[in-house]
Structure 1
């Protein structure tokens, strides 16, 4: 069974929405997935936002989801870590650089343009190497830092919009972004399962 971890900031809006919706959609397709979510700045045990809860209820999702602070144990548990923005991904890789091979933003993971995928892979490796240098008391390579800048300027944004503090309409727009990405994710996982 594939273990998928969604990561956002406070684990009250986007990642619990993705968690609940993916669990539902996978079940509808007869796919066995275990799905969890966490936040890079979450307070464990906090309730999800009322608009997120309402959207999940409207979708028929009645799971009891509460926020959870991101931990190394959760990252180790996951076969696939999907962040909701690039900054969440960079934060995660700063603390868990060994997770680089299984960590993506949700939108980049389902994106299928080969050239962009190659840039992302190189960028992730450069970030991981820079973090490792810093962790070992060194300085990141200047040429590598310049290369990071060059690549970041070419890559499109793969961020899911943040509805925190917004209206129900803001949350609906975010939910639509997440739904679209989750349908593509399930298609990708089903294709891989058939191979």
Structure 2
């Protein structure tokens, strides 16, 4: 079983939608967090230590993580999905994009 951590900016729409896709998944445990000070759940060193794979929505999220948590990310894969902040929570289009991008994990 691997631990997947989904990250967006405020942890309100994109990363919680991705987290919901994996709820009760047989092979993965998932959590989500945000990079912003206004995030519902803010990314931190403990969450990054828990994660086997970090999946971010945009390049800017990876850049912020690398600036703030270089040591925690040193040996972890960081996947960038290139999903802009244009979707609400559980938006059907967002779900379709996530399913396509995360096929190997689903």
Q: Which TM-score band (shorter chain)?
A: 0.7 to 0.9
The CA distance in 2 between the partners of 1:105 and 1:42, in whole Å, is 22
2:55 is matched with 82
In structure 1, list runs of 5 or more residues that go unmatched. Answer: 45-66, 108-158, 187-195
1:37 is matched with 32
Measure how far apart 1:22 and its partner are: 2.0
Measure how far apart 1:68 and its partner are: 0.5
2:6 is matched with 6
SS of 1:35's equivalent in the other structure is strand
TM-score, reference length from structure 2: 0.82
Deviations along 1:69-106, one digit per CA (max 9) or x if unpaired, are 11111111111111111110111111111204314234
Higher helix share: 1
2:46 is matched with 73
TM-score, reference length from structure 1: 0.48
Matches within 5 A, 1:109-148: none
Q: Which structure has the bigger radius of gyration? A: 1
The structure 1 segments of at least 4 consecutive aligned residues displaced by more than 4 Å after TM superposition are none
Matches within 5 A, 1:20-31: 20-24=20-24, 27=25, 31=26
1:160 aligns with 2:80: no
1:18 aligns with 2:18: yes
1:104 aligns with 2:78: yes
| Cα RMSD for the two superposed structures | 2.1
Higher strand share: 2
2:102 is matched with 182
